Amino acid sequence: MTEHAPAGTPQLSARAILLIELALAMGGFGIGTGEFTIMGLMPNVAQDLNISEPQVGHVISTYALGVVVGAPLLAILGARLPRRILLMLLMLFFAAGNFASALASDYHALMLYRFIAGLPHGAYFGVASLVAASMAPPDKRANAVSRVMTGLTVAILVGNPLATWLGQWLSWRSAFALVGAIALLTVALVFIYLPVSRHEETSNPIRELRAFNQPQVWLALAISAIGFAGMFCVFSYLAPTLLEVTGVHENWIPFGLAAFGLGTIVGNIAGGWLFDRLKFKSVALVLLWSTAVLLLFPMSVHSLWTILPAIFAVGTMVALSPPLQTHLMDVATEAQTLAAASNHAAFNIANALGPWLGGLAISAGLGWTVTGYVGAVTAILGLLIFFQAWKLQGNPAQSAPAGQAVTEH
């Protein structure tokens, strides 16, 4: 059997490809653990730095801002570098940001270091997705991307609870030190298992910027930023919903988080499988599923035995990620690195937009369960954007910038 590999790279065995995917997924595991652990350690950080919990919330938002800024910026700056070198540099950058976070002396220093730690997040996932897709047959690229993204979903299920436990046992600083160590381990694994590609074609930053500026790319990013928001709208207010509406003891909250984590793992695998079979149409299918799940969520919250499956279903909404990631690599043509990285910037816009919209509705006195309905509206808006993208896809002359050849995928 002939294996696919990046141009100029020696033919790779199935075992070699698996080890490369595991190395790339380890980076995703570290990033996912670093991004979400602070939510579980919010009281610890607030007490140690003598600040309020809402101020710790600002620290979380600062990280997301770092992702939004860093994804396109570092993708452009690193466009001329070989992907192997760029991946290692991005992980070294991420390690430095997390070790600095562990040593932060005050609130403002922690804000700065979390912003720095967020900068390489999107670019890493973008480049890792391109490497994974380049090693897979054309009809299995999305599955390869989803396997690399599994690191992020496993972090939600396993990494975050472990880092939270470590932070509660020792110090919140030890959790960030652990994330930094995982990042260094990723650097070592990429160095060992990802071969040197001596004839790899590097990107041209100017060409990437020109190719990036086309409607299909922007529409796909808009689907990610808006269609994903509903998942974060529900997830962000999950703990108070369980306590105030379902009426369970706080000891059940980790089980709710675990149900969400399991859902993200299943959704991530399903999303890759769907795109390899249905291509861009899979995005519409996931958005329809998301709308149904979010509309049913408010009806499930009054019993522990119905809300746990509902939380699992909300987690499966992450199935939107592999199709959008792979679709962006298809439509961006000569801006693949920039587009793949920017998808994670859009993902973090959703991470900010969903909780903000949900908070507005809750503050208006509509109750904790309103998050499901607010999220359903964002999923429907994402579906409307999809239809516009689908319409443009049927008219390639409108979806490409002037002077650029259109390539069918």
Average pLDDT over every residue of 110-122: 92
**Length, in residues, of the chain:** 409
- Answer whether residue 172 is part of any domain: yes
* pLDDT of residue 317 exceeding 50: yes
Per-residue pLDDT tens over the stretch 178-220: 999 999 999 999 999 888 776 666 666 676 677 677 888 889 8
The reply to whether 323 falls in a domain is yes
Whether 341 shows a pLDDT value over 80: the answer reads no
* Residue range(s) defining the domain that contains residue 309: 203-400
Residues 6+ apart with CB under 8 A from 260: 156, 235, 238, 311, 312, 314, 315
155 in a domain, yes or no?
A: yes
Residue 405 lies in a domain: no
Residues 81 and 214 in one domain: no
Q: Are residues 256 and 175 in the same domain?
A: no
Co-location of 189 and 207 in the same domain? no
What's the total number of domains in the chain?
2
Residue with tokens 């452009």: 76
Q: 42 and 57 in contact (C-beta within 8 Å)?
A: yes
pLDDT score for 286: 95
> What's the predicted TM-score (pTM) here?
0.74
pLDDT at 392 over 50: yes
Residue 270: inside a domain: yes
Averaged over 230-246, what is the pLDDT?
A: 83
Asked if 122 and 64 touch (Cβ cutoff 8 Å), the reply is no
Residues 322, 173, single domain; the answer is no
Same domain as 227, residue 158: no
Number of C-alpha atoms within 13 angstroms, CB side, residue 72?
A: 17
Q: Of 163, 150, 155, 122, give the one whose Cα is nearest residue 38.
A: 163
Angle at 46 between CA 42 and CA 47, to 5 degrees: 120
Q: How confident is the model at residue 116 (pLDDT cuts 50, 70, 90)?
A: very high
Res 16 pLDDT > 60: yes
Of 200, 222, 246, the one marking the end of a domain is: 200
3-state secondary structure 274-305: HHHHHCCHHHHHHHHHHHHHHHHHHHHCCCHH
Query: Rounded distance, CA 128 to CA 152, Å?
Result: 12
In a shared domain, residues 194 and 239: no
Average pLDDT over residues 246-256: 79
Residues 108 and 222 in one domain: no
Asked whether residue 195 falls in the same domain as residue 183, the answer is: yes
Per-state percent for the chain, helix, strand, coil, to nearest 5 = 80, 0, 20
407 within some domain: no
Residue 23 has pLDDT above 60, yes or no: yes
- What is the structure's pLDDT at 176? 92
Q: Exposed e or buried b for every residue in 271-296, given b needs 16+ CB within 10 A?
A: bbbbbbeebbebbbbbbebbbebbbe
More confident residue, 368 or 294: 294
d(CA 376, CA 394): 27
Verify that 231 and 342 share a domain, yes or no: yes
Q: Please indicate, yes or no, whether residues 21 and 147 belong to a single structural domain of this protein.
A: yes
Best mean pLDDT range from 168-172, 253-257, 281-285, 354-358:
281-285
Residue 5 has a pLDDT of: 46
Percent of the chain with pLDDT over 70: 87
Alpha-carbon span 220 to 330, nearest angstrom: 11
Query: Final residue of a domain: which of 178, 200, 222?
Result: 200
The domain that holds 343 is classified in CATH as 1.20.1250.20
pLDDT for 8: 43
* Domain final position from 200, 229, 264: 200
Does residue 409 lie within any of the structural domains?
no
Would you state the pLDDT for residue 297? Answer: 95
181 and 216 in a single domain? The answer is: no
Does residue 47 belong to any structural domain of this protein? yes
Q: What is the pLDDT of residue 215?
A: 86
At residue 211, the pLDDT reads 65
Residue-by-residue DSSP string for 32-44: HHHHHHHHHTHHH
Q: pLDDT band for 54, please (50, 70, 90 cuts).
A: low
Looking at the fold, whether 59 and 134 belong to one and the same domain comes out as: yes
Cα–Cα distance for residue pair 49/18, rounded to 1 Å: 43
Indicate if the alpha-carbon torsion angle 141, 132, 264, 74 is positive or negative. Answer: negative
